[in-house]
Amino acid sequence: MSFKIYHPSFNSLVAEGSVTLCLQNDAYPFAHEAGVYIPASDSFFMTSSRFRTADGAQMIQISKITRKDGTYIQEEIHPSPDIPMGNGGVNYKDGVLFCSQGTLEKPSALVYMEASAPYKSRVILDSFYDRRFNSVNDVVVHSDGSIWFTDPTYGFEQKFRPEPELPAQVYRFDPATGSIRVVADGFGKPNGISFSPDERIVYVTDTDMLHGKGDGVDVDLRRAATIYAFDIQYYSGEPFLINRRLFAMADTGIPDGIKCDLQGNVYSGCGDGIHVWSPGGVILGKIVIPGGVANFCFAQPGEILALNENRLWRVTLGRSTRGALLKL
Protein backbone atom coordinates (compact mmCIF):
# COMPACT_ATOMS: atom_id res chain seq x y z
CA MET A 1 0.00 0.00 0.00
CA SER A 2 1.13 3.61 -0.11
CA PHE A 3 0.98 7.09 1.35
CA LYS A 4 -0.43 10.00 -0.64
CA ILE A 5 0.89 13.39 0.46
CA TYR A 6 -1.13 16.58 -0.08
CA HIS A 7 0.61 18.87 2.40
CA PRO A 8 4.25 18.98 3.57
CA SER A 9 3.24 18.60 7.23
CA PHE A 10 2.10 15.03 6.49
CA ASN A 11 5.78 14.12 6.33
CA SER A 12 6.08 14.81 10.05
CA LEU A 13 3.57 12.03 10.77
CA VAL A 14 5.30 9.32 8.79
CA ALA A 15 8.89 8.15 8.94
CA GLU A 16 11.42 6.65 6.59
CA GLY A 17 10.40 3.02 6.17
CA SER A 18 6.75 3.61 7.09
CA VAL A 19 4.74 0.73 5.64
CA THR A 20 1.39 -1.00 5.62
CA LEU A 21 1.39 -4.74 6.28
CA CYS A 22 -1.50 -7.20 6.02
CA LEU A 23 -1.72 -9.14 9.30
CA GLN A 24 -4.80 -11.27 8.73
CA ASN A 25 -6.83 -12.35 5.72
CA ASP A 26 -10.10 -14.27 5.86
CA ALA A 27 -12.91 -15.32 3.55
CA TYR A 28 -15.59 -13.54 5.61
CA PRO A 29 -15.51 -9.79 6.48
CA PHE A 30 -14.18 -10.16 10.02
CA ALA A 31 -12.51 -6.71 10.17
CA HIS A 32 -15.07 -3.91 9.99
CA GLU A 33 -15.77 -1.89 13.13
CA ALA A 34 -14.85 -1.21 16.77
CA GLY A 35 -11.07 -1.38 16.64
CA VAL A 36 -10.29 -1.29 20.39
CA TYR A 37 -6.67 -1.73 21.49
CA ILE A 38 -5.98 -3.10 24.99
CA PRO A 39 -2.40 -2.12 25.97
CA ALA A 40 -2.16 -4.44 29.00
CA SER A 41 -2.48 -7.56 26.84
CA ASP A 42 -1.29 -6.11 23.50
CA SER A 43 -4.61 -7.23 22.06
CA PHE A 44 -7.23 -5.75 19.77
CA PHE A 45 -11.00 -6.21 19.54
CA MET A 46 -13.06 -5.74 16.39
CA THR A 47 -16.46 -6.52 14.93
CA SER A 48 -17.20 -7.96 11.51
CA SER A 49 -19.50 -6.71 8.79
CA ARG A 50 -22.94 -8.31 8.61
CA PHE A 51 -22.98 -11.75 7.09
CA ARG A 52 -25.49 -14.56 6.75
CA THR A 53 -25.21 -17.76 8.76
CA ALA A 54 -26.08 -21.16 7.31
CA ASP A 55 -29.71 -20.72 8.38
CA GLY A 56 -29.93 -17.31 6.68
CA ALA A 57 -29.82 -15.20 9.85
CA GLN A 58 -27.86 -11.95 9.91
CA MET A 59 -24.87 -11.97 12.25
CA ILE A 60 -21.90 -9.86 13.34
CA GLN A 61 -18.89 -11.61 14.89
CA ILE A 62 -16.70 -10.12 17.63
CA SER A 63 -13.04 -11.11 17.32
CA LYS A 64 -9.87 -10.57 19.31
CA ILE A 65 -6.33 -10.40 17.94
CA THR A 66 -3.50 -10.95 20.44
CA ARG A 67 0.11 -10.24 19.54
CA LYS A 68 2.61 -12.58 21.13
CA ASP A 69 6.27 -13.13 20.22
CA GLY A 70 5.76 -11.47 16.85
CA THR A 71 2.75 -13.59 15.90
CA TYR A 72 -0.91 -12.59 15.75
CA ILE A 73 -3.47 -14.98 17.21
CA GLN A 74 -7.10 -14.51 16.22
CA GLU A 75 -9.90 -15.61 18.53
CA GLU A 76 -13.61 -15.47 17.78
CA ILE A 77 -15.47 -14.27 20.85
CA HIS A 78 -18.89 -15.67 21.66
CA PRO A 79 -20.08 -13.56 24.58
CA SER A 80 -23.53 -13.65 26.09
CA PRO A 81 -26.45 -12.75 23.80
CA ASP A 82 -26.29 -9.20 25.21
CA ILE A 83 -24.18 -7.97 22.27
CA PRO A 84 -26.27 -8.77 19.18
CA MET A 85 -25.03 -7.10 15.97
CA GLY A 86 -22.06 -5.40 17.64
CA ASN A 87 -20.54 -2.39 15.89
CA GLY A 88 -18.39 0.41 17.32
CA GLY A 89 -16.48 0.17 20.57
CA VAL A 90 -14.12 1.98 22.92
CA ASN A 91 -11.89 1.26 25.91
CA TYR A 92 -13.95 1.40 29.10
CA LYS A 93 -12.72 0.64 32.59
CA ASP A 94 -10.66 -2.57 32.10
CA GLY A 95 -12.68 -3.84 29.13
CA VAL A 96 -14.57 -2.75 26.04
CA LEU A 97 -17.77 -0.75 25.69
CA PHE A 98 -19.54 -2.04 22.57
CA CYS A 99 -22.36 -0.56 20.54
CA SER A 100 -24.89 -3.37 20.20
CA GLN A 101 -27.18 -2.51 17.28
CA GLY A 102 -29.79 -4.98 18.48
CA THR A 103 -32.21 -7.18 16.53
CA LEU A 104 -35.94 -7.29 15.82
CA GLU A 105 -36.42 -8.81 19.28
CA LYS A 106 -33.57 -7.30 21.33
CA PRO A 107 -33.02 -3.57 21.91
CA SER A 108 -30.01 -1.63 20.72
CA ALA A 109 -27.72 -0.88 23.66
CA LEU A 110 -24.35 0.08 25.05
CA VAL A 111 -22.82 -3.09 26.47
CA TYR A 112 -19.69 -3.50 28.58
CA MET A 113 -17.61 -6.63 27.99
CA GLU A 114 -14.62 -7.81 29.98
CA ALA A 115 -11.38 -7.97 27.98
CA SER A 116 -10.45 -11.50 29.03
CA ALA A 117 -12.19 -14.88 29.07
CA PRO A 118 -14.95 -15.71 29.81
CA TYR A 119 -15.78 -12.22 28.42
CA LYS A 120 -18.67 -11.50 30.76
CA SER A 121 -20.90 -8.65 29.62
CA ARG A 122 -23.61 -6.38 31.00
CA VAL A 123 -25.92 -3.79 29.50
CA ILE A 124 -25.10 -0.19 30.43
CA LEU A 125 -27.96 1.60 28.61
CA ASP A 126 -30.68 0.44 26.22
CA SER A 127 -33.19 3.29 25.82
CA PHE A 128 -33.80 7.02 25.87
CA TYR A 129 -36.33 7.10 28.71
CA ASP A 130 -38.04 3.93 27.44
CA ARG A 131 -37.89 4.95 23.76
CA ARG A 132 -35.70 2.37 22.06
CA PHE A 133 -32.53 3.43 20.27
CA ASN A 134 -32.39 2.82 16.53
CA SER A 135 -29.05 1.02 16.08
CA VAL A 136 -26.32 2.51 18.25
CA ASN A 137 -23.26 2.84 16.04
CA ASP A 138 -20.14 4.36 17.62
CA VAL A 139 -19.07 5.53 21.06
CA VAL A 140 -16.38 7.50 22.88
CA VAL A 141 -15.76 8.19 26.58
CA HIS A 142 -14.96 11.63 28.01
CA SER A 143 -12.43 12.07 30.83
CA ASP A 144 -15.31 13.08 33.13
CA GLY A 145 -16.71 9.55 32.75
CA SER A 146 -19.58 10.46 30.44
CA ILE A 147 -20.32 8.29 27.39
CA TRP A 148 -21.06 9.94 24.02
CA PHE A 149 -22.53 7.92 21.17
CA THR A 150 -24.27 8.06 17.79
CA ASP A 151 -27.54 6.41 16.79
CA PRO A 152 -28.36 6.24 13.05
CA THR A 153 -31.12 4.15 11.48
CA TYR A 154 -29.00 1.60 9.60
CA GLY A 155 -30.50 -1.34 11.48
CA PHE A 156 -34.00 -0.59 10.22
CA GLU A 157 -32.79 -0.09 6.65
CA GLN A 158 -30.84 -3.35 6.81
CA LYS A 159 -33.94 -5.14 8.13
CA PHE A 160 -32.66 -6.33 11.49
CA ARG A 161 -34.25 -3.56 13.62
CA PRO A 162 -37.86 -2.38 13.98
CA GLU A 163 -39.12 0.95 12.68
CA PRO A 164 -37.28 3.83 14.42
CA GLU A 165 -38.71 5.39 17.57
CA LEU A 166 -36.18 8.25 17.61
CA PRO A 167 -34.49 10.65 15.17
CA ALA A 168 -30.88 9.99 14.14
CA GLN A 169 -29.02 11.81 16.93
CA VAL A 170 -25.94 12.07 19.17
CA TYR A 171 -26.31 11.36 22.90
CA ARG A 172 -24.42 11.92 26.15
CA PHE A 173 -24.92 9.49 29.02
CA ASP A 174 -23.60 10.10 32.53
CA PRO A 175 -23.34 6.74 34.35
CA ALA A 176 -22.80 8.51 37.67
CA THR A 177 -26.21 10.21 37.63
CA GLY A 178 -28.12 8.20 35.04
CA SER A 179 -28.69 11.35 32.97
CA ILE A 180 -29.14 10.72 29.23
CA ARG A 181 -29.32 13.77 26.92
CA VAL A 182 -29.55 14.46 23.21
CA VAL A 183 -26.61 16.75 22.42
CA ALA A 184 -26.82 17.04 18.61
CA ASP A 185 -29.34 16.37 15.86
CA GLY A 186 -29.91 17.32 12.23
CA PHE A 187 -27.93 14.41 10.75
CA GLY A 188 -28.75 12.00 7.99
CA LYS A 189 -26.68 9.17 9.47
CA PRO A 190 -24.53 10.17 12.49
CA ASN A 191 -21.74 7.62 12.62
CA GLY A 192 -18.18 8.03 13.94
CA ILE A 193 -17.46 10.23 16.96
CA SER A 194 -14.24 11.51 18.54
CA PHE A 195 -12.94 14.21 20.87
CA SER A 196 -10.02 16.50 20.14
CA PRO A 197 -7.04 15.88 22.46
CA ASP A 198 -8.11 18.71 24.79
CA GLU A 199 -11.76 17.55 24.65
CA ARG A 200 -12.93 21.01 23.61
CA ILE A 201 -14.18 19.79 20.23
CA VAL A 202 -16.39 16.87 19.23
CA TYR A 203 -16.14 15.48 15.70
CA VAL A 204 -19.09 13.55 14.27
CA THR A 205 -19.19 11.91 10.84
CA ASP A 206 -22.36 11.90 8.77
CA THR A 207 -22.46 8.94 6.39
CA ASP A 208 -25.83 9.73 4.83
CA MET A 209 -24.39 9.06 1.37
CA LEU A 210 -24.84 5.35 2.13
CA HIS A 211 -28.27 3.98 2.98
CA GLY A 212 -28.96 0.38 3.90
CA LYS A 213 -31.00 -1.58 1.38
CA GLY A 214 -31.61 -5.00 2.88
CA ASP A 215 -28.40 -6.91 2.25
CA GLY A 216 -27.14 -4.21 -0.09
CA VAL A 217 -26.31 -0.50 -0.03
CA ASP A 218 -27.89 2.45 -1.79
CA VAL A 219 -25.37 5.18 -2.72
CA ASP A 220 -26.53 8.77 -3.22
CA LEU A 221 -23.65 11.14 -4.02
CA ARG A 222 -25.86 14.15 -3.26
CA ARG A 223 -26.01 13.26 0.43
CA ALA A 224 -23.49 13.92 3.18
CA ALA A 225 -20.12 12.19 3.39
CA THR A 226 -19.02 14.77 5.88
CA ILE A 227 -17.29 15.42 9.20
CA TYR A 228 -18.86 18.07 11.44
CA ALA A 229 -17.12 19.77 14.35
CA PHE A 230 -18.78 21.18 17.48
CA ASP A 231 -17.33 23.19 20.34
CA ILE A 232 -18.16 22.07 23.87
CA GLN A 233 -19.49 24.91 26.01
CA TYR A 234 -20.59 24.50 29.64
CA TYR A 235 -23.75 26.06 31.03
CA SER A 236 -24.85 25.46 34.63
CA GLY A 237 -22.12 22.88 34.82
CA GLU A 238 -23.43 20.84 31.88
CA PRO A 239 -21.84 20.51 28.41
CA PHE A 240 -23.61 21.74 25.28
CA LEU A 241 -22.45 21.47 21.68
CA ILE A 242 -22.28 24.84 19.91
CA ASN A 243 -20.81 26.31 16.72
CA ARG A 244 -21.64 23.39 14.47
CA ARG A 245 -19.47 23.64 11.36
CA LEU A 246 -18.51 21.52 8.40
CA PHE A 247 -14.98 20.33 9.14
CA ALA A 248 -14.27 18.24 6.02
CA MET A 249 -15.85 16.14 3.29
CA ALA A 250 -14.43 12.83 2.11
CA ASP A 251 -13.65 12.84 -1.61
CA THR A 252 -13.86 9.04 -1.81
CA GLY A 253 -16.53 7.04 -0.02
CA ILE A 254 -17.71 8.09 3.43
CA PRO A 255 -15.81 9.14 6.57
CA ASP A 256 -16.70 6.33 8.97
CA GLY A 257 -14.57 5.73 12.08
CA ILE A 258 -12.76 8.84 13.33
CA LYS A 259 -9.83 9.44 15.69
CA CYS A 260 -7.41 12.24 16.60
CA ASP A 261 -3.69 12.14 17.26
CA LEU A 262 -2.03 14.06 20.08
CA GLN A 263 -1.34 17.00 17.75
CA GLY A 264 -5.04 17.35 17.03
CA ASN A 265 -4.89 15.99 13.48
CA VAL A 266 -8.09 14.18 12.48
CA TYR A 267 -8.04 10.69 10.92
CA SER A 268 -11.04 8.97 9.35
CA GLY A 269 -11.58 5.67 7.55
CA CYS A 270 -12.79 6.41 4.01
CA GLY A 271 -13.37 4.68 0.68
CA ASP A 272 -9.69 4.46 -0.28
CA GLY A 273 -7.99 4.20 3.10
CA ILE A 274 -7.45 6.57 6.04
CA HIS A 275 -7.61 10.31 5.36
CA VAL A 276 -5.74 12.74 7.60
CA TRP A 277 -6.71 16.39 8.11
CA SER A 278 -5.07 19.16 10.12
CA PRO A 279 -7.02 20.65 13.05
CA GLY A 280 -7.94 23.41 10.60
CA GLY A 281 -9.60 20.99 8.18
CA VAL A 282 -6.82 20.89 5.56
CA ILE A 283 -6.25 17.46 4.00
CA LEU A 284 -2.67 16.46 4.79
CA GLY A 285 -2.49 13.04 3.23
CA LYS A 286 -3.91 9.57 2.89
CA ILE A 287 -2.90 6.12 4.02
CA VAL A 288 -4.02 4.34 0.87
CA ILE A 289 -5.59 0.91 1.40
CA PRO A 290 -7.55 -0.41 -1.62
CA GLY A 291 -11.10 -1.28 -0.68
CA GLY A 292 -11.16 1.38 1.99
CA VAL A 293 -11.23 1.39 5.78
CA ALA A 294 -14.34 1.45 7.95
CA ASN A 295 -12.58 1.86 11.28
CA PHE A 296 -9.12 1.66 12.86
CA CYS A 297 -7.26 2.46 16.05
CA PHE A 298 -3.91 3.69 17.23
CA ALA A 299 -1.99 0.96 19.03
CA GLN A 300 1.72 1.06 19.96
CA PRO A 301 3.61 4.34 19.30
CA GLY A 302 3.59 5.07 15.58
CA GLU A 303 1.18 2.21 14.80
CA ILE A 304 -2.34 2.06 13.41
CA LEU A 305 -4.40 -1.12 13.05
CA ALA A 306 -6.80 -0.66 10.12
CA LEU A 307 -9.94 -2.67 9.40
CA ASN A 308 -10.36 -3.50 5.70
CA GLU A 309 -13.27 -5.99 5.82
CA ASN A 310 -11.52 -9.26 4.83
CA ARG A 311 -8.12 -7.97 5.92
CA LEU A 312 -6.51 -6.43 8.98
CA TRP A 313 -3.62 -4.05 8.24
CA ARG A 314 -0.79 -2.74 10.41
CA VAL A 315 0.33 0.76 9.43
CA THR A 316 3.63 2.06 10.79
CA LEU A 317 4.13 5.82 11.07
CA GLY A 318 6.66 7.96 12.91
CA ARG A 319 6.95 6.90 16.58
CA SER A 320 5.95 10.40 17.67
CA THR A 321 2.56 9.94 15.95
CA ARG A 322 0.30 8.77 18.74
CA GLY A 323 -3.42 8.51 19.28
CA ALA A 324 -5.18 10.95 21.59
CA LEU A 325 -7.55 8.33 22.99
CA LEU A 326 -4.92 6.26 24.84
CA LYS A 327 -2.05 8.75 24.43
CA LEU A 328 0.22 5.91 23.30
Span 12-52, pLDDT tens digits: 998 766 666 777 777 789 999 999 999 999 999 999 999 98
* Average of per-residue pLDDT across 232-249: 97
- Report if residue 177 sits inside a domain: yes
Residue 316, in any domain of the structure: no
- CATH number of the domain where residue 119 is located: 2.120.10.30
The mean pLDDT value of the chain amounts to 94
pLDDT for res 117:
94
Task: Give the tens place of pLDDT for each residue, 62-79.
Answer: 999 999 988 889 999 988
Is the residue at 185 inside a domain? Answer: yes
In a domain, 87, yes or no: yes
Q: Which domain holds residue 217?
A: 38-259
**pLDDT at site 82:** 84
- The pLDDT of 190-209, averaged and rounded, is 98
pLDDT at 19: 67
Q: What is the pLDDT of residue 142?
A: 98
Residue 108's pLDDT is what?
98
Alpha carbon distance 293, 256 (integer Å): 8
Q: What is the pLDDT of residue 253?
A: 97
Strands 139-141 and 147-151 turn out to be antiparallel
**Which residue type sits at 32?**
H
Number of domains the chain is built from = 1
Mean pLDDT, residues 167-174 taken together:
98
* pLDDT average, residue stretch 142-156: 97
| Mean pLDDT, rounded, for 99-112 | 97
pLDDT of 197 higher than 90: yes
In a domain, 114, yes or no: yes
Query: Residue 18's pLDDT is what?
Result: 67
The predicted-structure confidence for 110-144, as pLDDT tens digits, reads as follows: 999 999 999 999 999 999 999 999 999 999 999 99
Cβ atoms of 150 and 170 closer than 8 Å: yes
Question: Do 158 and 211 meet the contact criterion of CB atoms below 8 Å apart?
Answer: no
Coil, strand, or helix at residue 8?
helix
Q: Is pLDDT at 83 greater than 90 in this prediction?
A: yes
How far is Cα 258 from Cα 204, in angstroms, rounded to an integer?
Answer: 8
| 323 occurs within a structural domain | no
245 falls within a domain = yes
User: In 3-state terms, what secondary structure has residue 10?
Assistant: helix
**pLDDT exceeds 70 at position 1:** no
Residue 278 to residue 291: CA distance in whole angstroms: 24
Instruction: Give mean pLDDT, residues 261-268.
Output: 98
Q: What is the pLDDT of residues 222-237, one digit of tens each?
A: 999 999 999 999 999 9
Q: Please give the average per-residue pLDDT across 177-182, as a whole number.
A: 97
Q: What is the pLDDT of residue 281?
A: 98
Asked if residues 33 and 294 have their Cβ atoms less than 8 Å apart, the reply is: yes
User: Are residues 169 and 184 in contact, defined by beta-carbon separation less than 8 angstroms?
Assistant: yes
Q: What residues are paired with 91 via a beta bridge?
A: 96
Q: How far apart are CA 71 and CA 74, in angstroms?
A: 10
- Mean of the pLDDT values across residues 300-309? 94
pTM over 0.85: yes
Any domain includes 179: yes
Tell which wins on pLDDT, 268 or 72: 268
